[in-house]
């Protein structure tokens, strides 16, 4: 199932296009010498790859801290769409994605950031050069905030057409719209299957909030329907007790949660998934979220560690332990106890920016003081949250004891706080 341009723009609202998180590339690497230089380097320069939660903040704060450093933000899309709150669109709480969509024009004009709309196709760490679809760029330091990619090879039967039939909707934009359309088109009495990959993955509570929002939509519009959650993990990965309480309160008998149920194969044609090669689960709509790793550009650049999944970094500077003068932030990095979340990326970006400025000016680096806050909606009126503070101990990012915590219960105040949180963070990213 695909969307034509007219339908896509109609659902998006006022936005004219969408961005996927990061700058993951599908094409072959381009050598630094195969294309002309876009913007000859005349002063100290930091290039930032990826215009999402991490990249925009890193670019902004480097310029705020030292206007003598030129900052170039490279992003293949002219828009960014927030994954946080995209589940509310699936649940019918948002009419479209326009409120989750930002552009880069004010960020550029307010801070003197040079924005290059291009796809990054290669990184030459030795030459301090990146290759893009518009040419090459030289840098003194590079920030890579590319987001995630999927380990689809671990799911038998998955191919390039699968997302059209079993959308992941884990990069906000067209996939989110497609999944919403499938839910709307599904008959009353139908079954939605939602697969949760094995941790770590982007946004630990995300699949369970999505379960809640889909159940909310079904309860209101298709009350004879149900949702089956097949979770690769031994239990709900985040806020488990609160999600269970919310499901019992609002969606009794509608949600069939199955833990330790790893999807190993699929049949997209008949909308079925195979659990550990044994149990077949069929649905009318299948939201298949594959296991994840750092985006392709990080893999190509040799930033991924021995696990072949994520990028090891210095805990304070987020400089790659594999490639000098390249910093990796956000979902792609190994950030110890900090989860792969939008607010973690925001926090990491600020510390990274400060330490890049310090390093480029011959000053000592500062120790990380990180924070994460994450809100999850259980219904149209109630939400919960988790918050934590992080520091570095013995070279690793760890949680500060007795800091933060989880909401004591579902409540309406958290839903209000969540809206303010989203407004504030998107405003910070775009102005």
pLDDT at 141: 98
pLDDT at 26: 31
The count of C-alpha atoms lying within 13 angstroms of the C-alpha of 23, restricted to the half-sphere facing its C-beta, is 33
Percent composition of the chain: helix, strand, coil (DSSP 3-state, to 5)? 30, 25, 45
Record: fold of 5-150+293-367? FAD/NAD(P)-binding domain (3.50.50)
Fold equal for 5-150+293-367 and 156-290:
yes
Q: pLDDT class for 278, splitting at 50, 70, 90?
A: confident
End-to-end Cα separation, the chain, in angstroms: 36
> Do residues 242 and 138 make contact, with C-beta atoms less than 8 angstroms apart?
no
pLDDT > 70 in the chain, percent: 92
- Is the pTM higher than 0.85? The answer reads yes
**DSSP, residue by residue, 24-39:** ---S----TTSS-BSS
- What are the tens digits of pLDDT across the range 194-226? 999 999 999 999 999 999 999 999 999 999 999
Q: pLDDT class for 8, splitting at 50, 70, 90?
A: very low
Q: How far is CA 360 from CA 84, 309, 328, 388, in A?
A: 33, 30, 17, 30
pLDDT at 234: 97
pLDDT at 277: 81
Per-chain mean pLDDT for the chain: 92
Q: Is pLDDT above 50 for 136?
A: yes
pLDDT at 28: 33
Burial tier of 167 (Cβ tally within 10 Å: 0-12, 13-18, 19+)? buried
Strand-pairing partners, residue 392, are 397
Lookup: tokens for 429: 């990213």
Q: Is pLDDT above 90 for 252?
A: yes
pLDDT average, residue stretch 176-196: 98
Distance CA 131, CA 29 (A): 8
Torsion from C-alpha of 52, 53, 56, 60, nearest 10 degrees: 180
CATH class of the domain at 156-290:
alpha beta
Task: Sketch the domain layout of the chain as residue ranges.
Answer: 5-150+293-367, 156-290
Q: How far is CA 277 from CA 83, 163, 262, 268, 350, in A?
A: 31, 21, 9, 15, 44
């Amino acid at each position: 199932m695909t969307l034509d341009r007219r339908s896509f723009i109609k659902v998006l609202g006022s936005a004219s296009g969408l961005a996927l998180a990061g700058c993951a590339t599908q094409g072959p690497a381009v050598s630094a010498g195969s294309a002309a230089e876009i913007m000859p380097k005349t002063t100290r320069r930091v290039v930032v790859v990826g215009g999402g939660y991490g990249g925009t903040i890193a670019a902004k704060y480097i310029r705020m801290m030292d206007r003598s450093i030129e900052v170039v933000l490279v992003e293949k899309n002219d828009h960014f769409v927030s994954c946080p709150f995209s589940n509310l669109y699936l649940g019918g709480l948002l009419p479209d994605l326009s409120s989750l969509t930002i552009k880069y024009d004010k960020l550029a004009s307010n801070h003197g950031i040079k924005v290059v709309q291009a796809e990054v196709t290669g990184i030459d760490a030795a030459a301090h050069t990146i290759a893009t679809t518009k040419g090459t760029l030289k840098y003194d330091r590079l920030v890579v905030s590319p987001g995630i990619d999927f380990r689809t090879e671990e799911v038998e039967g998955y191919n390039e057409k699968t997302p059209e039939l079993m959308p992941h909707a884990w990069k906000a934009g067209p996939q989110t719209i497609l999944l919403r359309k499938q839910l709307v088109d599904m008959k009353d009495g139908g079954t939605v299957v939602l697969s949760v990959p094995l941790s770590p993955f982007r946004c630990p509570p995300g699949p369970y909030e999505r379960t809640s929002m889909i159940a909310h939509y079904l309860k209101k519009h298709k009350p004879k329907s149900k949702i089956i959650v097949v979770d690769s993990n031994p239990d709900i990965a985040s806020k488990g007790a609160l999600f269970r309480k919310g499901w019992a309160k609002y969606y009794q008998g509608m949600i069939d949660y199955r833990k330790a149920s790893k999807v190993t194969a699929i049949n997209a044609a008949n909308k079925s998934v195979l659990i550990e090669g044994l149990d077949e689960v069929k649905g009318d709509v299948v939201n298949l979220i594959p296991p994840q790793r750092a985006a392709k550009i990080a893999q190509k650049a040799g930033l991924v560690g021995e696990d072949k999944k994520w990028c090891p970094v210095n805990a304070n500077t987020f400089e790659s332990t594999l490639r000098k003068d390249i910093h990796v932030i956000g979902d792609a990095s190994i950030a110890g106890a900090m989860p792969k979340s939008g607010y973690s990326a925001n926090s990491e970006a600020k510390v990274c920016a400060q330490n890049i400025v310090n390093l480029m000016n011959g000053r000592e680096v500062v120790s990380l003081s990180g924070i994460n806050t994450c809100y999850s909606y259980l219904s149209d009126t109630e939400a919960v949250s988790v918050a934590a503070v992080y520091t570095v101990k013995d070279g690793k990012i760890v949680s500060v004891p007795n800091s933060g915590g989880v909401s004591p219960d579902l409540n309406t105040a958290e839903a209000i706080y969540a809206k303010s949180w989203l407004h504030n963070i998107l405003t910070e990213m775009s102005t």
